[in-house]
Chains A and B, each alone.
Chain A
Amino acid sequence: MRLRVNGRDWEVDAPPMARLLDVLRVQCELPGTKEGCGEGECGACTVLVDGEPVCSCLVPVAHADGAEVTTIEGLGGDHRLQRAFAEHGAAQCGICTPGMIMAALALPSSPSLDDVRVALAGNICRCTGYHAIYRAILRA
């Protein structure tokens, strides 16, 4: 299988049902994507597949064959959302943060608070109560 991850091509040797999450973390050595529940409920493993946010723990790698995958590492370190998350205290323990940022990337520009709440409804943060995350995204 062939993946394009953060602009780099990967020839992946994995069983077709291997989780995209494990392929990214182990084979591609991109551990910025986190596992929180393994059942698609917490959103910590959110990555973009062809621009769509997905829970990579639920995606068999075969489904991503030929796709363009973006992980937190693909944003570099100076993306406006990364800066805003840092500035507004949107990352506390930080384990949900990569997934949160990836989910927020799919928002339209100048989103409303309701847009943000709906877009992030599949990403659980146990630290912040979400308000710092809203502030970061709305001001990014």
Chain B
Amino acid sequence: MNRVDPTFVNELKEYGAVGIEKCFNCGNCTAICPLASDEYNFPRGVIRRVQIGDRETMKTQLDPWLCYYCGDCSATCPKGAEPGETMMAARRWLTAQYDWMGLSRKLYTSTAWAIGALIVGALMVLGLAWLLHGDLVTSQVQLNTFAPVEMIHVADLILAGVLAFFLLSNLFRMFMFTFREGKQWKLPPFAVFVTEAWQLVYHTLTQQRFSKCEGRRRWISHMILVFGYGSMFVLIVVFLTWFQTDNLYPLYHPQRLIGYLAALAIIYGAGDALVSRIQKKHQMHHFSHLSDWLFPILLILLSVSGLMISAFRYMGLPLATYYTYVIHLVIMMTLYICIGPMGKWAHLLYRPFAVYFQIVKEKAAQQSEVTAGAMASAD
């Protein structure tokens, strides 16, 4: 039996929810939602869990990740209870539950912590740059003398390893919350995880559920952002020794072309989100949490500074190149510390895995139904 906990509503408000108490559970939000189903009847189901303070069930829910915030629910709500924003806050809250370090809660609920994390990230990079940088050759641009690519590559790999460690350990907690009831594992057969694994790849690459949400334009702009970011991530983590070069190439050279296209894609996608948040034209952008601002802003700054490094390099401005390079690294570090595995960035794993877990659960349920049916007919 669930014991009602009246404090949960206020807790979720710290994560940005508004108007939860206005909801009188009519269910219009769920009725209008293009993605809700009988089993996953959000937003109402999620709002109710919050209203009665059922943290345990909330922790196990995939529902918030299955919503892409088209905003139809909020627009339709007869009480102005902003169900879409409760879903958004629930995603932040879940991110904080998955994070075993407890840092996520601090970053999401305290502006001081978020700003502090930004400063720590910046100081870390500045300190390392101060200690480890090579000579500042001023006769010509020699970035690989100032910041030897081998060293940067190792640093990148270490950073990627740290990010992966936190992200995967958080993901494991998500997995645990999803497939446990109390202290008991309720794992579907391993075979189902394997046979449905392609769904994970498919949903990561296509974000097909997102496209089912109202307004395809947003899905397209998000896809552009994802592919831009993904390409850039691979370039930097895997192919840095090829990407960071002091060679000057013509514009059509793949090193330049891929880099520029990826940067522009990020600027377009993140810029679209940022402009929409400023304009507040669409329902899903009526409310913005600090993390909703920081994510696109840092992505844009990251890409712009990256483009500037390239521009200064081709213009033959050594010092400008070196300083911009350090600023570029500062932005990158602040991004990952402030909204990385403990923040909004982590949705890149939680969302496709939520869809995957949902499919696995459904398939396993179907199978056990079939088995039960066969057993019954055998009797």
Bind each other: no
